[in-house]
Chains A and B, each alone.
Chain A
Amino acid sequence: MMMTARERLLTTLRGGLADRIPIAGFDRHLLQGDKEREARNRGLGLICHRPCYIESILNTEVLTKSGGPNTQVKIYNTPVGSVSEVLSYGAGYGIALFGRDWQGVVPRRKEFLVKKPEDYKVLKYIVENLHYEPYYFAIEDQIKRIGEDGIVVATLPYEPMQRILIEFVDWKRFYIDLMKNRETVEEIYEILKDKYVKELYPIAANSPAEVVMVGANIDSILVNPPLFERYYIPPYEECAEILHPKGKMLNVHMDGRLKALKDHIAKTRLDVIEAFTPPPMGDLPINEALNMWRGKVLWINFPSTISTLMGPSPQNVKKYLIDLLEQTIPGERITLIVSTENRVPAENMMAMVEIMEKAKLPLTKEAIEEMRRSI
């Protein structure tokens, strides 16, 4: 009997053999319409990321003011000093749909909290005063709504050091500070890690979601192997200690170049590598990743270079996908994600759906040849 999208995704996540290789899209990236509905009727599942916590900063006054069109300045006044950041929002922010940005994308930081060495003192205070509470409604609500159409993933903030790198300190300053003032940066990292381990990871462990996203945007250019080993693996390990006994699977969104990190990733207890991006955008072939990372499930990000950049090109999409699937024979431990961007032409999405309908498990060489003949 044919599995539902949810059964297919969960069976694969639990190491079993589904009826066919799952294909899914992130709900926030799938644009609704007739083709999207047809794709979902033909097996395209949904992966819905939802928060499981509320974060607040105690003893700190947070003021916001306009910094010009689509720009917001946030000022954090603490007893030990003030810092500010400048956030740039997408077009239409605040005017579309009663306060929402029409695409719902996250704002980009034009200025970071740490601009000079003294700002670390204020950042330390902010991090020390982070407070977490459970918030499961978004997950519970989505689980009810989604039914058999997909799964819900609980989300956490970036890994402690990734958060410092991406949200608090501009990357250029980050590397220089890590060299020249390692103790200062490490102190913030330790406080944040400790807070996550004691307060945040237990909240995620008790959430109703089966999968928890515990980090994101890993790329070896930005996070080199020594950094990954020293600052990323330890929180993953601590998180696994807390989440695994509760039956939760650990997922990290790793959408960058991973070749240089492949040995380190193999050593982690991560269960799902989300947005694994094969060449030409990534640098690690899928068969190599599957061989290296035994026991891990790969959610493959279909490279937008093929799916989006050149516009509607269904034949190219099919050809690329068949070649990709061939490398995964017998097709275990993988799920195809349509894209991690939201403008995939409908023709290309339907081309993926058409091929994935034929990706019965276990995948065989003959099935691949049959797919080739069909296009």
Chain B
Amino acid sequence: MVSKEEVLEGIRQSIGALDFEGASKSLKDALNIGIDPAEIITDGVSKGEEIVGQKFERNEYFLSELIMAGEMTKQLLDILKPHIEKGKVKPKGRVVIGTVEGDIHDIGKNIVIMFLQSRGFDVVDLGVDVPVDKFIAAVKEHEPQILAMSALMTLTAPVMGDVIKRLTETSLRSKIKVIIGGAPTTPEFGKSIGADYQTTDPVKGVEKCLEWVESGVDG
């Protein structure tokens, strides 16, 4: 009989290689030998997604592979769903995310969402062309630890500063961390508008979010 570690490694490597059949076989093996579904997600599926992220970082994988990995994870979690005890798998944290008003580019934002979800975050996606008020309302409603904003156009990037300003005016700023991204942004720009972190690298962005929720730091 295969060991627990071998089965989890099988899930990780299969996801990393985008081998859906291999991953679902290992996942079923994991359930058959009685591994807790929560552990399968944490030590199998999520770590497999990490491998995908590392390959993306190294330019071995691109957007098409990320989409494939996202689809694969969705299907694997569907297999696991009936076996998960309610409330046992808790999200690592909650992120509200959106592309700012005037900008409808969503590729970068969606890549970040895929990585956040694969690392156990509950993500509230506000979509694209999101007005300042909608960001504020979503922060009030969902009480996330993190607000993530994206812009691809230089002309729309300053809107992120408007959102941060409104967070301050409505006394919400101290309760959350703000991360921004998008091709035209820079660390200097992030600093100038009062963001806590800026990156154009989705993997680094998600690492920063993990660091924040794991250290339990408030905004």
Chain A residues at the B interface, C-beta cutoff of 8 Å: 88, 108, 110, 171-172, 175-176, 178-179, 220-222, 224-225, 227, 259-260, 280-281, 303-305, 308-310, 341, 343
Interface stretch, picked from B36-44, B135-143, B151-159, is B151-159
Chain A residues whose CB sits within 8 angstroms of the CB of B158 once the complex forms? 309
How many B residues face the partner with a CB closer than 8 A?
A: 23
Q: Give a binary string over B59-93; 1 marks a CB under 8 Å from any A CB, 0 the rest.
A: 10011110110010000000000000000000000
16 A-B pairs with C-beta separation under 8 A: A88-B104, A171-B63, A171-B107, A175-B64, A175-B67, A175-B68, A176-B67, A222-B62, A224-B63, A224-B65, A225-B62, A304-B154, A305-B186, A309-B184, A309-B189, A310-B188
In the complex, whether B192 has a CB less than 8 A from a CB of chain A is yes
A227-B64, A304-B154 known; A176+B71 contact, CB < 8 A? yes
Chain B residues whose CB sits within 8 angstroms of the CB of A260 once the complex forms? 59, 62
Among B62, B110, B155, find the residue whose CB has the most chain A CB atoms closer than 10 A: B62
- Complex partner residue of A172 from B110, B153, B192, CB under 8 angstroms: B110
Q: Which residue of B lies closest to A221 (CB)?
A: B63
Chain A residues whose CB sits within 8 angstroms of the CB of B153 once the complex forms? 341
Q: Which residue of A lies closest to B18 (CB)?
A: A179
Chain A residues whose CB sits within 8 angstroms of the CB of B62 once the complex forms? 220-222, 224-225, 260
Beta-carbon contact of B184 and A305 below 8 Å: yes
Question: Separation in Å of the A20 CB from the closest CB of chain B?
Answer: 27
Beta-carbon contact of A108 and B104 below 8 Å: yes
Beta-carbon contact of A281 and B64 below 8 Å: no
A171-B107, A172-B110, A281-B183 known; A224+B64 contact, CB < 8 A? yes
Among A108, A178, A221, A224, find the residue whose CB has the most chain B CB atoms closer than 10 A: A221
In the complex, whether B185 has a CB less than 8 A from a CB of chain A is yes
A224-B63, A260-B59 known; A280+B186 contact, CB < 8 A? yes
Question: Separation in Å of the B107 CB from the closest CB of chain A?
Answer: 6
Question: Separation in Å of the B44 CB from the closest CB of chain A?
Answer: 23
Chain A residues whose CB sits within 8 angstroms of the CB of B184 once the complex forms? 281, 303-305, 308-309
Question: Separation in Å of the A339 CB from the closest CB of chain B?
Answer: 8
Beta-carbon contact of A310 and B155 below 8 Å: no
The CA of A260 and the CA of B55, in the complex, are separated in Å by 13
The CA of A351 and the CA of B188, in the complex, are separated in Å by 21
Beta-carbon contact of A341 and B104 below 8 Å: no
Chain A residues whose CB sits within 8 angstroms of the CB of B154 once the complex forms? 304-305, 308-309, 341, 343
Beta-carbon contact of B64 and A305 below 8 Å: no
Chain B residues whose CB sits within 8 angstroms of the CB of A108 once the complex forms? 104
Beta-carbon contact of B186 and A309 below 8 Å: yes
